[in-house]
Amino acid sequence: MTFSELLERVGSMGPFQVLHVLLLSIPILFMASHNLLQIFTAATPAHHCLPAPNTSSALPVGPHGEPDRCRRFSRPPPEGPPGLWNATLANGTWGPTEPCLDGWVYDRATFSSTIVTEWDLVCDFRQMKEVAQSLYMAGVLIGGIVFRSLSDRFGRKALLSWSYLQLGVTGTATAFSPNYSTYCALRFLVGMAVSGIILNCMSLVLEWSPTRTRTITGTLVSYSATLGQILLPGLAYALPNWRWLQLTISLPFFAFFCYSWWFAESARWLVLAGRPEQAVQVLKRVARINGKKVEGDKLSTETLKSHLQKELDLAQTPGTPWDLIRTPTIRRISKCLAAVWFATSFAYYGVAMDLQGFGLRVHMLQLLFGIVDIPAKLLSTLGMSRAGRRVAQVATLVLAGLGILANLFVPAELPALRTALAVLGKGCLAASFNCIYLYTGELYPTAIRQTGLGVGSTMARVGGIVAPLVKLMGEQMPLVPPIIYGSIPMLSGLVALGLPETRNRPLKDTVEEVESRLAQQQGTDP
């Protein structure tokens, strides 16, 4: 008997699993808001220099006829009738100019305060906004490495509770940051906590769900993240001050920490960690909540060990990163998946964090970007079920790249069309994420499945770190970032053609089984 069959005996999808998934999903809603928070807290409103003393309110003219954002006149206007030097100003010939030595004037109609307006992250310091987002994603990367190791040692429940507390404390402290450096350090710690929540939440959801319901429970958690993206613009509109917005989406994690004591530790992990007695107690509790007390009372450490003997044998030889490249088939799978994980995250954050570049109200754009995930994930699930995993993965990446590249040929005077193409690209990238999580789990055998998912997640975080930095290239070469954001997912979609199909095929437990299966399939796959 496998562990999934054992779950059926104590209630596979009873009241315990329903409440468990619900309580685990609510924090994901707020966690998703943290991922995209800087769209609003680091928004850059229209701005211009505070005029120098004794120079009236006249300012140099920018490239589009607006006041120059980074320069001001350094001496009073020339003598003569005002109409004369106003005409001279309009031609941009009056000088000399100097940097904004006395600060900037910001348009606060949409955002009363952002980190940009508070710490003047404009002109020579404009790249600091992107650096802050990259540091946050670096925290997500480091957190994935650290918390993955710690959760295998101390358990999923303990690390999840700690992650809730860490995000609550550091997220709240971020709202009171006295300067930019403190803000970046705290956002790094928030990113680490986000990784801990993602990893351990998904582990508890999947390890308490039987095989037949894992797709449903995993999709429910995914849709919670989508609702978080939809909630964020509403909160940002109601709270135009970045500190209040930061505080509002951080405080709930103290409540999540308080109720996390109710969660049940993974019984599978308890057995593999050499604590079968605790595993039996947890399973009996689940059986009691699900109305299966009689079945639960029949459990013992001996029967549990006998039912999980295969899992115990696999645990004696845990997978390592070396196993991902040791054999030819697994090595090919690992290379292709690394490209897909990187490209999906890279393009996703490249598009999602640049909403101000589409010419429409940023709150409405983020709302559209969140809503499009609902049909996108549904269609990707249907595509994986009907056409297969490989076709769905390739199609979502190629369509995403085409949507992003198509905007290169749409003039700025057509913001509605530009927005539609961006929404299409972002929706396809969300669908790609939906595919890659399931596809990776099916491609790798049980012995190295967690290792493979961990490396894939790491590549995604690297993509998230690089994406904001590529945007900086647009200041000198405006066409380069969208070309890169669109080309990389298209290329990775072609790379994904090298992956084997897994639809309606049983999961494998060892590397040797994968190698032999692919050898048998040579020349038979479409």
| 13-27, 32-46, 71-85, 143-157: the lowest-pLDDT one | 71-85
pLDDT higher than threshold 90 for residue 416? no
pLDDT band at 90, cuts 50/70/90?
very low
- Do the beta carbons of residue 133 and residue 353 sit within 8 Å? yes
Q: How many residues does the chain have?
A: 526
Q: Which amino acid appears at position 458 of this protein?
A: T
Predicted local distance difference test score (pLDDT) of residue 156: 86
pLDDT band at 323, cuts 50/70/90?
confident
Q: 52 or 315: which carries more pLDDT confidence?
A: 52
Mean pLDDT of 337-365: 81
pLDDT higher than threshold 90 for residue 247? yes
Assess whether the region 1-45+124-316 and the region 319-526 belong to the same CATH fold: yes
Rounded to whole angstroms, how far apart are CA atoms 201 and 23?
Answer: 10
Q: Encoding tokens for residue 256?
A: 């999540």
Q: CATH classification of 319-526 is 1.20.1250.20, yes or no?
A: yes
Helical spans, DSSP H, in 317-448: 328-352, 362-371, 373-386, 389-406, 415-443
The H or E element that residue 246 is part of is helix 242-248
Q: 180 or 48: which carries more pLDDT confidence?
A: 180
Q: 490 or 58: which carries more pLDDT confidence?
A: 490
| 252-261, 291-300, 377-386: the lowest-pLDDT one | 291-300
Q: Encoding tokens for residue 244?
A: 């209040």
Number of Cβ atoms within 10 Å of the Cβ of 295: 18
The mean of the pLDDT values for the chain is 82
CA atoms within 13 A on the CB side of 156: 23
Phi then psi for 59, rounded to 5 degrees? -135, 155
pLDDT higher than threshold 60 for residue 522? no
pLDDT band at 193, cuts 50/70/90?
very high
Predicted local distance difference test score (pLDDT) of residue 86: 47
Rounded to whole angstroms, how far apart are CA atoms 385 and 156?
Answer: 30
Strand segments, DSSP code E, in 230-344 are none
Predicted local distance difference test score (pLDDT) of residue 166: 96
pLDDT band at 517, cuts 50/70/90?
low
pLDDT higher than threshold 90 for residue 273? no
Which of 264-286 are b and which e, b meaning 16 or more Cβ less than 10 Å from the residue's Cβ?
A: bbbbbbbbbbebbebbbbbbbeb
Mean pLDDT of 18-34: 89
Q: Where are the domains of the chain?
A: 1-45+124-316, 47-106, 319-526
Burial of 53 (0-12, 13-18, 19+ CB in 10 A): exposed
- Do the beta carbons of residue 268 and residue 311 sit within 8 Å? yes
pLDDT band at 27, cuts 50/70/90?
very high
pLDDT band at 41, cuts 50/70/90?
very high
pLDDT higher than threshold 60 for residue 328? yes
Give residue 65's region: left, alpha or beta (phi > 0; psi -120 to 50): left
pLDDT higher than threshold 50 for residue 338? yes
Rounded to whole angstroms, how far apart are CA atoms 436 and 456?
Answer: 9
Q: Which amino acid appears at position 67 of this protein?
A: P
Q: CATH classification of 1-45+124-316 is 1.10.10.10, yes or no?
A: no
User: 430-439, pLDDT tens digit by residue?
Assistant: 889 888 887 8
pLDDT higher than threshold 50 for residue 106? yes
pLDDT band at 85, cuts 50/70/90?
very low
Vertex 440: Cα angle to 191 and 139 (nearest 5):
10
Q: Encoding tokens for residue 147?
A: 């918390």
Q: 126 or 171: which carries more pLDDT confidence?
A: 171
pLDDT higher than threshold 70 for residue 333? yes
User: 134-150, pLDDT tens digit by residue?
Assistant: 899 899 889 888 887 78
Predicted local distance difference test score (pLDDT) of residue 464: 86
Mean pLDDT of 236-260: 95
Number of Cβ atoms within 10 Å of the Cβ of 36: 22
Task: State the angle between helix axes of 328-352 and 415-443 in degrees (0 to 180), rounded to the nearest 10.
Answer: 150
Q: Which of 59, 62, 61 is nearest to 51 (CA)?
A: 59
pLDDT band at 475, cuts 50/70/90?
low
- Do the beta carbons of residue 199 and residue 329 sit within 8 Å? no
